[in-house]
Each structure stands twice: as structure tokens, then as C-alpha cells.
Chains A and B, each alone.
Chain A
Amino acid sequence: MNAFDWSVIGQYAGYVAAGIPITLLVSAGAVVIGIVLGVPIAILRLRAWAPVRWLLLGYVELFRNTPVLVQVVWFYYVLPVLTGGNLPPVWAGTLAIGLNTSAYIAEAVRGGIVGIASGQGEAARCIGMSYWQSMRWIILPQTSRRMLVPFANTFVVVIKESALVSYIGVLDILHRGDVVQVSTFKPLEAYTLVAVFFLIVITAVTQLMRFMEKRWSPAVD
């Protein structure tokens, strides 16, 4: 085995780093989809008309009990069929990871809602608030605060999962590593670059989240 070839690092670092915006875009998009869908799913799973609740239970179980990679590939092939057009694969990847994330977020938020509903939600109902008023004024404001940390953790998980989009040809950090590996025959150097850039991205995001938590999450007893 040859010594570690630093020239590969020097030559291709910029190329691999150019995948960072793609990785972040896919991750952020997936988290947004996850929250935008996950929170209503959580609420509806608690209160909606029974068939809707069963449907949503099926949705959650489906996404939690199949591999994310399978979901990514499936959406990659099914999306063009559904839309008729040729959406870039980055959409399919973001959508698949986003829907998967929404299933996990729905479960976490549901737990948060149930926890608050039993005491304070009941107090709100007992002064005459409707279910939706108690959601609006008591349960959701507190759930969103309590969810800040889990959401931040979800973001980190999603960044790691986003590497799966390389499988369908999206030029994220990992896929660029593949390209370097193929053209230089230096897998060790190529994937070291990949790992280092993921580490940088995740560390930066973690720090940012920690900073935001401090600012926005007042102590709740």
C-alpha cells in the first residue's frame, strides 16, 4: 500500500467541497418537509376521523419500517412516472428523505403533545377551552419549545442520511468522492475527504443549533 497521497487532497478538496451546498440543500429541504408534514400528522393522528388516523398510522409505519435507501431509489423511479416530467434526482432524494423524516417527527411530536395534554391540556379544557384552543395556546407553544432539541438532532441525522442521494446520481459530498476515486484510483484519499467534509458540516450545524437553543429555549419546568 502506498503512502497517503496528499496531492490528491490538494487537487480535489475544492471539488469535493463543492458538494457541501448540495448536501445542505437536500438536508435542509428534507427537514423542512419533515416538520411541515410531521407536525400536522402528529396532531391529526390524535384527533382526526378514524379512517384518516389509520391512513396516517400506515404512512408512519411504512416509512419507519423500510430502508431509507429503498425509499430514495423508489422515489427516484416513481417520481418521473407520477409527474410525467424529468425532475432532477435531487428532488426525488430530498422528497424521500423528507417524507421519511416526517414519519419520525410525527411520532416525536405526538409524544410531546400527549405528555403536555395530560396535565396542562386538561387544565385548559377545564376552563372551557375547545380542543383546538388548548392546542393553539397551551400544547403547541410548549411542544415547539420542547421539540427544539429533538429537531436539531433530527437535522444531524438527516445530514448523514442525505449521503444516500449519491446512489441516484446527485453530486453531493459522497458522490463527488466517488468521482475522485474513479478518476484517481485513490479510494483512501477520496473518502477521507468525504468524511472530513461531513465532519465539518455536521460540527458547524451542531454548533449553530446549540447557539440557537441557548437563545430560544427558555427553561421550562
Chain B
Amino acid sequence: MSERGFDANWSAQPLIEMQGVQLSFGSVQALRDVDLAVRPHEVTALIGPSGSGKSSLLRCINLMAFPAAGSVRVGGRETVRAVDGKHEFLLGEPERNQLRTHLGMVFQHFNLYPHLSVLRNVALGPAVVLGHSREDAQDEARLQLSRVGLAHKADAMPRELSGGQKQRVAIARALAMRPQVMLFDEATSALDPEMVGEVVDIMRQLADEGMTMIAATHEMDFAREVAHQVVFMADGQVVETGPARQVLEQPQHARTRQFLDRVLRHAAVGGVDPAPSSS
């Protein structure tokens, strides 16, 4: 994998590590003293209310945001270190770009390129970033599209797809870079309920294949059934981390319980528990 420039040990334990990470936007503290460790081939579900810092955490991993304090390691290599609001790059800009080729990212709003066909959306990265020939890039794109069940949409334009299909293309686009880790930022939150399943199924399939994943999600079923580790965040802090069952079924902190109560009640269609919340 060293041909991409960012040389790392992709079986490092942990594969991704954050220590004491802080991130602020002006006076808003998006992340406060966040620690995180992700082991290879494991799935981490990030849960927490809106604004709790899930996106911010993911963006510190792929260096789309730079911490004000703390350090981040990927594949055993420190990628950024910051003290007192000043970050020190441990990677030059080309190497930061190369790092990102290993970290696939999937967004809430898909962010497909509307001026390119589905095939070119997926093939662009391998062609432009990895320098594959046009044929190789398109072969790779077709392969990844069939992996998400959309080979037949290769020539469609993004606007002709449903939300679920768009998100599957976005996943194929990330996979076409052959990443070592996949980051999902609420990949199903913008979807109509009937389309959530098709995207979750693909995430599940990737997990089964051993992909290391970090997924900010509101899908508690996914967290419970697929995640090895669940991280609950609130107000920019990691409140609770642990094996999925433990955090979801025996949460240690009141905030976690409160959050789970609320989310699970919402999820119970038909109102299994009609008791009004006291909080």
C-alpha cells in the first residue's frame, strides 16, 4: 500500500487512535478531550444527540479538521498533534491527501458530483487520484457498483436516482479507492425510511467482510447488531465507550440512558411506550 505515499501499518493496534483531542469553532467547543481507539476489522458506532461532535470527530480522523489540542494516529502513525490551539502537521499536504485515499468517507447528503454520470462519479478518484488508466478506473467503478447492486445504473446521472441509490453510489465511490477504513457520517439520516434498509444492508455486508468502520449513526439496530464498540457522545465529550451490548443495554451514565430512552421510543413505531417523558 506504500505506493500511495502514506506509509502505515494497517494492522496496527489500534488502527485509529485519538488522544485528548479538542476542536473548537470560535467559542464553540466541538470536541473536548476526546479519546478513541479503533481496532482493525472492527465497527465503531458513534451515537449521540445532534451537535454532540460526531461529524467533528470523523473530520479530525481524515484531517478535514485540525484539533486545537491532542493527537491523532492512523495506522500507527501520528498524523497531527496540537497543543494550546496550535496544531503541528506531521504530514505534508501531499501526504495528507494520500492519507485520505485510505479513509473512505460517506456523507449524510451523499455529495455526489451532479455533473458526472454514476460511473464517472465512482471512477474519478481511481483515475485522478490514483492515476489509473481510464479503462482500469472504469473497471474498478463497475466492480464497486455491482458490489452495491447498482451496476445497471452506471450510465445514469445522479439526479435520476433515489436517495438510497445515491447513497449506495457514494459508498461505491469511497470503496473504489480501496480504503483501509470507512467513515460514515449519518449515512442514512437523510433517507426516507423505506430506503434506510438498502444502505444499512451494504454497511452490514462491509462489516462482515472485515472492513474497519466508524459510523456516526442514529440506527440503533445497526449499532446493536453490527458494531463491536459503541461510543456515546454529548456536548463534544465521549461520555461512554464500550462493547455495543454493554453501552446500549446497560449504560453506565445517566446521559446515555436518557438519550437511548428517547431514541428508542422514537424508533418504536406505533408508540409502544406512550408515557410522556419527564425530562
Contact = CB atoms under 8 A, between A and B. Distances in A.
Interface of A: 119-120, 122-130, 133, 137-138, 141-142, 145, 218-221
Interface of A (DSSP majority class): helix
Interface centre among B94, B112, B114 (most CB of A within 10 A): B114
A219 B159 contact: yes
A29 B69 CA distance: 53
B268 to A, nearest CB: 33
B232 interface: no
Contact of A130 (B94, B103, B115, B159): B94
10 contacts: A122-B64, A122-B111, A123-B112, A123-B173, A124-B113, A126-B104, A128-B177, A133-B128, A145-B115, A220-B115
Question: 4 closest Cβ contacts across the A-B interface?
Answer: A128-B101, A123-B111, A221-B159, A126-B105
Contact of B177 (A119, A120, A127): A127
A120 B159 contact: no
A128 to B, nearest CB: 4
Given A119-B111, A145-B115, A221-B114, A126 B64 contact: yes
Contacts of B154: none
Interface size range on B against A:
20 to 34
B109 A119 contact: yes
B125 A129 contact: yes
B115 A141 contact: yes
Interface string B165-179: 000001001100100
B113 A128 contact: no
B100 interface: yes
A220 B114 contact: yes
A128 B97 contact: yes
A137 B124 contact: yes
